Amino acid sequence: MLAVVVAYCTVAAIGAALLLTRIEHEAIETREKQIPLILSQTRNAVKIERMSSLVRAVFLTNDRRLERQLQLQIQALAQGFGFDGSPILIDGSKKVAGLAKSIVSAHQQRRDQAAQRAGGQLESSQSLADLSAYEEAMRIIEKMAKETSDNSAFVADDIAAGIQERAVEVRYLVIVFLTIPAILVAMLLALARRHLTAPIVAAIVNLDRIEKDQVLKATTDRPKLKELALIGDAVISYGSTASELRRTNLVLQVLAEKDPLTGLANRRMFEKFLAASILRSTSETGTAILLIDIDHFKAINDRFGHPTGDRCLKSLSDLLANIPDLSNPLAARFGGEEFVVVYDAPCADHAAEYARFLCKKIAQLETTGVDGNTIRFTGSVGVSFTTSSADDPSDLMEKADRALYAAKRSGRDCAVAYSELSNDATARQSHLRS
């Protein structure tokens, strides 16, 4: 592209120099030849007009002395035309001088004839001879004037034609010089858009897609510029790395929040959810915790093996993951064979009733052991409930744990609410006082 620009500038400079040189030469020619010719024609026109006036004066005057002076002036003007080199003007001026002499001679002849007649006077009217000479002289002068006018017009037209021709050449040269840069600029803009702007826009679009976690848009044409190609490759590589990082983070998030065996939320996720749930608690909607423990789980592991125990855990987790009719629930594996369910409950009785329902559903579960035997198990549930957003999550969990312990002591396969333990303790204290 740089070579094209240099070549264009060189051609433009040469073309402009040639045109200006030609204009300069024609200007010199006009100044040295044509303008002097116009001035000469102008002087000739003045002399012709002067000669016409002198001839008219010679024809009209009757004074011999004045006629002689006018004749001499006409002869002097006729001799002046000899320097211009125009045959028509030279011959015409000579003829006019001769005709002026004829007019003077005719006048003198009339005066001589009048002097010979006694008492005669010179006639005031001209003879036919001098009138004919005068008319012939005026025709020649008119022809000379026309020749001078035609020559001046020809020279002026030649100058105007030359100026017009140079103006047309300048106009075309300017048009060419302006059109070619415009075409070059348009080509440069098109090339810049294709090889500069387009790769940059593609990189920006892909960066936006990376931010939105969308599939990157592949470019059909690789950028010609090495730097832009490297940028595009870097964006694609960054997109792949970012996508892989997102997938890794997602896996890590799942590992950080999910129990790998059951797929339920783990203890860490449960504690965060419980704290948020308690903060939402009001007098109309509280937070209920159902702490669940598989009865005799150690005996199941010892008798049927850990793989069968894991199947029991998975069976219970599937039940808890599909709990119906609860508001904002979360089921989690709390540790070992303990599970926990937290949800927004309208009252403590609702939580206790749902815990008893859950015990029945657990008792209906069947798991196939590794040896193909069908295994059934039961679960105990401890329930705690609060409507105060100021309660400590650990206190609420401790209450659920106490209720679970009470359910274990009550023979397992049952649900006990912490509120029931409080009522029993109050009743025993009242009985002791009585």
User: What tens digit of pLDDT does each residue of 314-335 get?
Assistant: 999 999 999 888 999 999 999 8
Q: What is the pLDDT of residue 423?
A: 60
Which residues have CB under 8 Å from 347's CB, separation 6+?
286, 385
Region 197-212: mean pLDDT is 72
* Whether the predicted pLDDT of 192 surpasses 70: no
CA gap 233, 59 in Å, rounded? 107
| Percentage of residues of the chain with pLDDT beyond 70 | 85
Region 246-262: mean pLDDT is 80
Kindly report the CATH number assigned to the domain that includes residue 383.
3.30.70.270
Domain end, chosen from 182, 213, 248, is at 182
Say how many domains are in the chain: 2
* Whether the predicted pLDDT of 166 surpasses 90: no
* Whether the predicted pLDDT of 427 surpasses 60: no
Q: Does a structural domain hold residue 11?
A: yes
Highest mean predicted confidence (pLDDT) among 176-190, 332-346, 361-375: 332-346
90 or 277, greater pLDDT: 277
- Measure Cα distances from 19 to 9, 23, 37, 233, 364 in Å: 15, 6, 25, 53, 108
188 — pLDDT class (breaks 50, 70, 90):
confident
Q: What is the pLDDT of residue 220?
A: 64
* Whether the predicted pLDDT of 424 surpasses 70: no
Which residues have CB under 8 Å from 364's CB, separation 6+?
none
Q: Helices 87-116 and 35-60 sit at what angle, rounded to 10 degrees? A: 10
Does residue 142 share a domain with residue 38?
yes
Which of these, 61, 140, 130, lies nearest to 101 by C-alpha position?
A: 130
Q: What is the pLDDT of residues 345-385, one digit of tens each?
A: 999 999 999 999 999 999 999 998 878 888 999 999 999 99
Burial class (CB in 10 A: 0-12, 13-18, 19+), 354: buried
* Whether the predicted pLDDT of 416 surpasses 90: yes
124 — pLDDT class (breaks 50, 70, 90):
very low
Q: Does a structural domain hold residue 239?
A: no
362-369: Cβ within 8 A, 24+ apart: 362/292, 362/316, 362/319, 363/413, 365/315, 365/316, 365/319, 366/315, 367/308, 367/311, 367/312, 367/315, 368/311, 369/304, 369/305, 369/308, 369/311
Does residue 425 share a domain with residue 301?
yes
Q: Does a structural domain hold residue 400?
A: yes
For the sheet with 338-345, list strands across it: 327-335, 338-345, 286-294, 379-386, 415-417
Strands 367-368 and 374-375: antiparallel
Does residue 175 share a domain with residue 284?
no
- Tell me the residue range of the domain where 134 lies: 2-182
Q: What is the pLDDT of residue 193?
A: 67
**pTM score, two decimals?**
0.50
